[in-house]
Chains A and B, each alone.
Chain A
Amino acid sequence: MAQQQSTAARDLAVGIFVVIGLLALLFLALRAGNMGGFQLGPSYQLRAKFDNIGGLKVRAPVKSAGVVIGRVVSIRLDPKTYQAEVLLSLDQAVAFPKDSSARILTSGLLGEQYIGLEAGADQQNLSDGAEIKMTQSAVVLESLISQFLYRSAEQAGASEKR
Chain B
Amino acid sequence: MGRFGMVGLRSLGAWVIGQLTQLGRLACFYARLSMLFWSAFTRPRLLLAQLHFVGNRSLAITLVSGLFVGFVLGLQGYYTLNRYGSEEALGLLVALSLVRELGPVVAALLFAGRAGTSLTAEVGLMKAGEQLDAISMMGIDPLRRILVPRFAASLIAMPLLAALFSAVGIGGGYVVGVVLIGVDSGAFWAQMQSGVDVVHDVGSGVLKSVVFGWICGATALAMGWLARPTPEGVSQATTRAVVASSLTVLGADFLLTALLFGQ
Contacts and interface: CB of A to CB of B under 8 A. Distances in A.
A40 interface: no
Given A14-B51, A24-B167, A32 B202 contact: yes
A56 B171 CA distance: 32
A95 interface: no
Interface string B205-227: 11000000000000000000000
The CB with the most chain A CB atoms within 10 A, among B48, B157, B198, B205, is that of B198
B196 interface: yes
A18 interface: yes
What's the interface size class on A, roughly? 20 to 34
B99 A24 contact: no
Interface in B50-103: 51-52, 55-56, 59, 84, 86, 95, 99
Interface string B32-55: 000000000000000011011001
Contact of A33 (B56, B157, B193): B193
Nearest to B45: A7
B160 A22 contact: yes
Grouping DSSP codes into helix (H, G, I), strand (E, B) and loop, the B interface class, with mixed when no group exceeds half, is: helix
A14 B164 CA distance: 15
B37 to A, nearest CB: 17
Contacts of B205: 28
B193 A34 contact: yes
Nearest to A57: B263
A14 B192 contact: no
B52 A13 contact: yes
Contacts of B119: none
Contacts of B161: 21
A34 B196 contact: yes
A42 interface: no
Contact of B49 (A10, A34, A35): A10
A15 B170 CA distance: 24
B166 interface: yes
B61 to A, nearest CB: 14
Given A21-B159, A35-B198, 20 more contacts: A10-B48, A10-B49, A10-B52, A11-B48, A14-B48, A17-B55, A17-B160, A18-B55, A21-B164, A24-B168, A28-B99, A29-B198, A29-B202, A32-B95, A32-B167, A32-B170, A33-B196, A33-B201, A34-B198, A37-B194
11 contacts: A10-B48, A14-B51, A14-B55, A25-B159, A25-B163, A25-B202, A28-B202, A28-B205, A29-B198, A32-B95, A37-B194
Interface of A: 10-11, 13-14, 17-18, 20-22, 24-25, 27-29, 31-37, 59, 110
Question: Top 3 closest A-B pairs, CB basis?
Answer: A21-B160, A24-B167, A33-B198
